[in-house]
Amino acid sequence: MNNEQNRTLIFEILRYNPLIKGDTPKMEKYQVTEAPGMTIFIALNEIREEQDPSIQFDFVCRAGICGSCGMIINGEPKLACRTLTANYPKGVITLLPLPGFELIGDLSVDTGKVMRQMSERVESWIHDQEAEDVDLTRLEERMEPEIADEIYELERCVECGLCLSACATKRMRDDFLGAVGFMRLARYAVDPRDKRTGEEFYEIIGDDDGVFGCMTLLGCEDYCPKDLPHQTQIAYLRRKMALGK
């Protein structure tokens, strides 16, 4: 744990409430006395409780698990709850909301809407006519242990949206599906319970808004907090698409 005590940290935070008429975006400065083990989560709450009760941001699990707290911290998209202030030796921390999402206010953005749309677009569920008629009293269908692990690897995505905010293609093309969608689709492509054919997957991502639009700049992989294998999977999907068609 960090032993540097009582540093005074400077937070520069983008403040803007689109619901207040006439409000304009501005950077505001706050000072916080650092405590050992302090995270951006702890610091922001201190600012809200003691200095400015109007400041907006989103945290849920505060443990790096739920994906709520993505923001741009000194230029990099990160999960704020698991970012220690000690990682910033200069003691100046600039916070901006994640780009590419509708701004709710200050550091709070609407990731929920984008992720639901993504799920609807890639039809993020098992496609199997028979799944509803499974006899629940009987043994479950077997699965090879490695396949289960492989699916889980891809399902570790927490829909934080950091990959989208770091994606140059997405910035140019709003309809570009982005890494989170590719990961989701790859997850179903390796799942034997999903009976979709290569052709059906192609329908969803076989164009320039899909895998072929990716310029392989890999901002996504650099910033994914769950270390998902974007590069490998995008290549896998491309191969699969090429074969499927």
Partner 1 sequence: MKVIYTDSLVIGGGLAGLRVAIAAKQRGYDTIVLSLIPAKRSHSAAAQGGMQASLGASVKGVGDDEDVHFGDTVRGSDWGCDQDVARAFVNTAPKAIRQLAAWGVPWSRVQRGDRQVVINGEKVTITESDEAHGLINSRDFGGTKKWRTCYTSDGTGHTMLYAMDNKAIKLKIPVHERKEAVALIHEDGVCKGAIVRELITGQLIAYVAKATTIATGGYGRLYSVTTNAVISEGIGTAIALETGLAPLGNMEAVQFHPTAIVPVGILTTEGCRGDGGLLLDKDGYRFMPDYEPDKKELASRDVVSRRMIEHMRKGKGVPSRYGDHLWLDITLLGEKHIRKNLREVDEICQYFLGIDPVKEYIPVRPTQHYSMGGVKTNFKGESIGLKGLFSVGEAACWDMHGFNRLGGNSVAETVVAGMLVGEYVADYCADTPLKIDTKTIDSFLEQERVKISDLLNRERGENPFKLKKEMQKIMMDKVGIFRNHDDLTKAVEELKVLNKKAKNIALRNRISSSNPELVEAIRVPKMIKLAQCVAYGALLRKESRGAHSREDFPQRDDKNWLKRTLAYWKDENTDLPEIEYEPLDIMKMEMPPASRGYGDDQTIAHPDTEKREKEIEQILKDNPGIDRIQTQELINPVEVPERYQGKNERVGRGFK
Per CB under 6 A, residues contacting ligand SF4 are 157-163, 179-180, 183, 224-226, 228
Q: Does 161 bind partner 1 (CB under 8 A)?
A: no
- 147 and 190 Cβ atoms separated by less than 8 Å: yes
Distance of CA 43 to the CA centre of its chain: 22
The rounded distance, in Å, linking the Cα atoms of 16 and 28 is 10
Q: Is 89 in the site for partner 1 (CB under 8 A)?
A: no
The DSSP code for 101 is: S
Closer of 109 and 204 to ligand FES (Cβ): 109
Which among ligand SF4, ligand FES, partner 1, none contacts residue 134 (Cβ within 5 to 8 A by kind)? partner 1
Residue 217 C-beta: closest distance to ligand SF4, Å: 14
- By CB under 8 A, tell whether 82 contacts partner 1: yes
Q: How far apart are CA 39 and CA 163, in angstroms?
A: 22
Angle, alpha carbons 176-178-181 (nearest 5°): 115
φ, ψ for residue 133 (rounded to 5)? -100, 10
Could you tell me which stretch among 91-99, 107-115, 197-205, 209-217 binds partner 1 (CB under 8 A)? 107-115
The entry of partner 1, ligand SF4, ligand FES, none near residue 162 (CB within 5 to 8 angstroms by kind) is: ligand SF4
CB 123 within 8 A of CB 204: yes
- Give the C-alpha separation, 81 to 158, whole Å: 14
The first and second tokens of residue 80, run together, are 């704020």
Beta carbon of residue 51, minimum distance to ligand FES (angstroms, whole number): 21
Report if residue 17 touches partner 1, rule: CB under 8 A.
yes
Query: Phi-psi region for residue 159, left (φ > 0), alpha (ψ -120 to 50) or beta?
Result: left
Element (H, E) at 128: none
Cβ at position 57, least distance to partner 1 in Å: 8
Instruction: Work out the widest C-alpha separation in the chain, in whole angstroms.
Output: 63
Indicate which of ligand SF4, ligand FES, partner 1, none lies near residue 107 (CB less than 5 to 8 Å, by partner kind): none
Name the binder of 209 from ligand FES, ligand SF4, partner 1, none, CB < 5-8 A by kind: none
- Shortest distance in whole angstroms from residue 157 CB to ligand FES: 12
Amino acid symbol at 27: M
| Min dist. Cβ of residue 172 to ligand SF4 (A) | 18
Determine the interface stretch with partner 1 among 88-96, 121-129, 200-208, 237-245 (rule: CB under 8 A): 121-129
SS3 call for 175: coil
- The answer to whether residues 167 and 206 touch, using CB atoms and an 8 Å cutoff, is no
221 binds, among partner 1, ligand SF4, ligand FES, none (CB under 5 to 8 A by kind): none
